[in-house]
Amino acid sequence: MKKQLLLGALVAAGALCLPDVSTGHGGTYRGPGDTVPPGGGGGGGGAGGPSSPGPSGPSAPGPAGPSSPGPSSPGAPAAGPASAGPTSGGGSAGPDLSIWDFWWGFNKEPYLNLRARVRSAGVVSSSDDFFLGRGEEDQRESSLRPSESLIRDKVVPALIKTLESEKQNDIVTGCLVALAKIGDVPSEDGSSQFVEIMTRFLKSKEQQNAETAALALGILADDRGVPALVSLMRSDDEGQRLVGKAVPVRTRAFAAYGLGLVGNKTASNEMRQTIVEHLVDTIQGERGARPDIKVGAISALGLIPLDWESEVAVTEEDSNAKYAANRVALLEYLIENMNPDTRGDEGGDKDFRVRSQVPIAAARLLSTHDSIPESQLAIRGKVIDRLLELADQNSKEKRVEVLMSATIALGMIGNAGSTGEEGKQNELIFKELARIAKQSADNHTEYFGLIALGEMGSRAGSTGDRGLQGAAEKEILSALAKGKGQKQPWAALALGVYGHALNEASTPAPPNVVLAVRSEAKKEKQPALIGGYAISLGLLKDSESADDLLGMLDKKEFSTDEARGNIAVGLGLMQATQAVEVLNNVVKKAKFRPDLLKQTAIALGLLGDKTAVPELVSMLQDAKGLSAQAAIASALGFIGDKESVEPLTQMLLGESEKKASDIARGFSAVALGIVCSKEPLPWNTKLSRNVNYRANVETLTNSDGTGVLDIL
């Protein structure tokens, strides 16, 4: 396997100390500290665990063969407490996947909303520019975002030029993903230059380049790429012509995820229907030993918002077009796939990793919170009934991973409304989540139950009422006060999620919630747990705790990079501008401490401070270690704006004053893709948000950092 850039841990919170592992396709993604959990989730089935990215790069081959990775252990969080509670579900030894860090690593992006903050914050109130009158809001967005002309005239030509002349895998894959994130513009003849470029690389002899090209077609989210993606997923004659051989399983799975990304973005409901039909065909017809393709296809279905009441012509009685008629029909299909009585037949799958994706997919179709039409309230009730059946303590479904997915899904669908039919449904959800959060056979399911209570309790019902809010809040506060070990930071995080949503809805978090989290944070002495409280206080916007957190940065018991990084992110989330100088000093000293560097860069991005950008560019040119290069490039992506474009472009083209290594050049392409992305959040947030990382397959996330959730 070729050397790869580990951009994995790059995005954010609760850094784990990771070894250098190979990864790919534009950088590795998340997990605590941007580490995706390793190991086999709940064990069984050889699923291979979520990945642990260390630094990973723009390219990564990853195994193309039939085997899925076994559990791997990327380094556990520093000084993790032995009393944190067992990993549920059995399985091989390795990091405890039930720690709070993993959930935050996969779910943090909407809470950080980093790109929007960087482009709108401009200057922080503690900076000279603010006091000189250059901190006005109306000038910020336009002045900080790279202009369309800068992107089209400078960045895109540099990426295309590099692809035309470069053979080094890390650089090639970094450029492909960067182009996909930027997006194409319409041509006069209706063709897409980017689709043509990506299609050309499908025939690459290097598997990592070919599968990256397939994934890039999905990230691009251009309708013109759909025929190629369908053929790749199906491995039909056209798909085999495109790659020059039978389409590898990894490429097929990436194509399935890619179809979901296109279906999520397209303006054409007819195109959405076409994609859904092909995905269902694949789910029904796939007989391979590996579950990756089905997992990708089911996950993709959850991303595609079919119209509620559209229709489609069904020409053949056994055609799967009937499931693509509208969203209700698709939900009916998913409900049947959650039926434990029909497992292995038409309505279910024998592999628990496949079954575990279905509740999340159904919930994503219902949790858009764009108000379900009154006439469709019945389908919501049907989905809830099936989820309650799965989650019940006497459920016929015995795999804990599926029960976890049902718990997560209930939190996604429910709200605090207590009136009418919707209210009756919410009452059922609340009672089941309260039971799960108090006492489950599995610790991790309890923790997911707390988060689910925080999510549902924070949302008003469709009529605006919040009758269940207080009850949900009370359950989580009880867990915070009485919980042991890991349960307390999970409860704190659930209250942070709860309070953040209330703040976003212009309903400030109740003072008793803020005081409870602040009080428990002051008592905490373990570095592996303090981050949950720090993140929670940041989400709650508790500015009164800023001085406490600043003090913790210097405390000996919190001297680990993991703890200090999480504290820094908490300060950024609460907009503690008094921390800017301290955090900039941390960046200067963190050149060889990649996890701390990237976390602190996130905090500075949240605070709107850009003073570290020139130093980071210089660091990237000089850095030798893979971890350091990955962290620096991701940090540039986190806090970079239009001022980052010129030095990064020069580095990519080999025109900078100091000659950059191939890996550094690959990371410069990754950083350019992040800075110039067409989307406000990382492209894979659609898949990582509310993912059940305990039911994992290699192409979702893996210890090599080559899954779709591992790619920046």
Higher pLDDT, 343 or 62: 343
Q: Please give the backbone phi and psi of residue 347, each rounded to the nearest 5 degrees, phi first.
A: -100, 10
Contacts of 113 (CB under 8 A, 6+ apart): 680, 681
Helix (H, G, I), strand (E, B) or coil at 276: helix
Higher pLDDT, 559 or 315: 559
Distance from C-alpha of 217 to C-alpha of 297, rounded to nearest angstrom: 16
Q: Please give the backbone phi and psi of residue 55, each rounded to the nearest 5 degrees, phi first.
A: -75, 140
Name which of 548, 558, 550, 493 is nearest 525 in CA terms.
558
Q: Residue 123 corresponds to which tokens in the numbers above?
A: 């200057």
Residue 155 DSSP class: I
Tell me how many helices (H) and strands (E) the chain has.
35, 2
Dihedral of CA 597/13/47/211: which sign? Answer: negative
Q: Please give the backbone phi and psi of residue 470, each rounded to the nearest 5 degrees, phi first.
A: -60, -40
Length of the chain: 712
User: Region 543-564: what's the mean pLDDT?
Assistant: 95
Per the CB < 8 A criterion, the answer to whether 126 and 611 are in contact is no
Distances in Å between the Cα of 572 and the Cα atoms of 302, 528, 550, 633 are 32, 19, 11, 20
Distance from C-alpha of 108 to C-alpha of 500, rounded to nearest angstrom: 12
Confidence (pLDDT) at 90: 37
Query: DSSP letters along 156-192, please?
Result: HHHHHHHHHH---HHHHHHHHHHHHHH-----TTS--
User: Region 446-471: what's the mean pLDDT?
Assistant: 96
Reported as half-sphere exposure (CB side, CA atoms, 13 A), residue 142 has a value of 4
Q: Residue 162 corresponds to which tokens in the numbers above?
A: 């590099």
Amino acid identity for residue 119 in this structure:
R
Q: Residue 315 corresponds to which tokens in the numbers above?
A: 């020409």
pLDDT band, very low/low/confident/very high, at 101 (cuts 50, 70, 90): very high
Confidence (pLDDT) at 365: 96
- The pLDDT tens digits for 285-321 are 888 778 999 999 999 999 999 999 887 777 677 789 9
Helix (H, G, I), strand (E, B) or coil at 465: coil
Q: Please give the backbone phi and psi of residue 709, each rounded to the nearest 5 degrees, phi first.
A: -85, -5
Confidence (pLDDT) at 15: 30
Task: Please list the helix, strand and coil fractions of the chain in percent, rounded to the nearest 5, in that order.
Answer: 60, 0, 40
Name which of 461, 492, 464 is nearest 476 in CA terms.
492
Distance from C-alpha of 274 to C-alpha of 282, rounded to nearest angstrom: 13
pLDDT at 548 over 90: yes
List, in sequence order, every residue forming a beta bridge with 285; answer none if it has no partner: none
Distance from C-alpha of 478 to C-alpha of 377, rounded to nearest angstrom: 32
Per the CB < 8 A criterion, the answer to whether 633 and 625 are in contact is no
pLDDT at 4 over 90: no
Contacts of 23 (CB under 8 A, 6+ apart): 4, 5, 6, 7, 8, 51, 53, 54, 55, 56, 57, 60, 704, 705, 706, 710
Distance from C-alpha of 179 to C-alpha of 162, rounded to nearest angstrom: 12
- Cα angle 453, 454, 455; round to 5: 90
Whole-number mean pLDDT of the chain? 83
Distance from C-alpha of 17 to C-alpha of 237, rounded to nearest angstrom: 45
User: Region 36-55: what's the mean pLDDT?
Assistant: 38
Query: DSSP letters along 586-604, please?
Result: HHHH-TT-HHHHHHHHHHH
Higher pLDDT, 35 or 170: 170
The angle that helices 469-482 and 420-438 make with each other, rounded to 10 degrees, is 10
Confidence (pLDDT) at 594: 86
Contacts of 671 (CB under 8 A, 6+ apart): 633, 634, 636, 637, 640, 644, 648
User: Which of 412-421, 460-469, 604-613 is least confident?
Assistant: 604-613
pLDDT at 3 over 80: no
Residue 312 DSSP class: -
Higher pLDDT, 241 or 317: 241
Distance from C-alpha of 454 to C-alpha of 451, rounded to nearest angstrom: 5
pLDDT band, very low/low/confident/very high, at 48 (cuts 50, 70, 90): very low
User: Region 594-610: what's the mean pLDDT?
Assistant: 90
Residue 321 DSSP class: G
Q: Residue 347 corresponds to which tokens in the numbers above?
A: 């309505």
Query: DSSP letters along 511-541, please?
Result: HHHHHHHHHHHHH---HHHHHHHHHHHHHTT
Confidence (pLDDT) at 23: 43
Confidence (pLDDT) at 339: 86
Confidence (pLDDT) at 77: 32
pLDDT band, very low/low/confident/very high, at 538 (cuts 50, 70, 90): very high
pLDDT at 524 over 50: yes
Name which of 689, 675, 562, 662 is nearest 59 in CA terms.
662
Distance from C-alpha of 421 to C-alpha of 412, rounded to nearest angstrom: 18
Amino acid identity for residue 47 in this structure:
A
Per the CB < 8 A criterion, the answer to whether 182 and 711 are in contact is no
Distance from C-alpha of 679 to C-alpha of 673, rounded to nearest angstrom: 11
pLDDT band, very low/low/confident/very high, at 282 (cuts 50, 70, 90): very high
pLDDT band, very low/low/confident/very high, at 411 (cuts 50, 70, 90): very high
Distance from C-alpha of 78 to C-alpha of 95, rounded to nearest angstrom: 11
User: Region 273-284: what's the mean pLDDT?
Assistant: 97
- Cα angle 188, 189, 194; round to 5: 90
Confidence (pLDDT) at 708: 95
Q: What percent of the chain has pLDDT over 70?
A: 81
Distance from C-alpha of 597 to C-alpha of 569, rounded to nearest angstrom: 11
Distance from C-alpha of 216 to C-alpha of 197, rounded to nearest angstrom: 10
- The pLDDT tens digits for 388-403 are 999 999 999 989 999 9
pLDDT band, very low/low/confident/very high, at 121 (cuts 50, 70, 90): low
Q: What percent of the chain has pLDDT over 90?
A: 64
Confidence (pLDDT) at 114: 86
pLDDT band, very low/low/confident/very high, at 689 (cuts 50, 70, 90): very high
> Which alpha helices (H) appear in 460-593, and where do they start and end?
469-482, 487-504, 511-523, 527-539, 546-552, 561-573, 580-589
pLDDT at 637 over 50: yes
Domains parsed from the chain with CATH numbers: 148-688 (1.25.10)
Distance from C-alpha of 458 to C-alpha of 504, rounded to nearest angstrom: 10
Q: Which parts of 216-336 are beta strand (E)? A: none
Distance from C-alpha of 97 to C-alpha of 401, rounded to nearest angstrom: 12
CB atoms within 10 A of CB 36: 35
User: Region 474-498: what's the mean pLDDT?
Assistant: 98
Q: Residue 56 corresponds to which tokens in the numbers above?
A: 């990973």
Burial class from Cβ neighbours inside 10 Å (0-12, 13-18, 19+) for residue 316 reads exposed
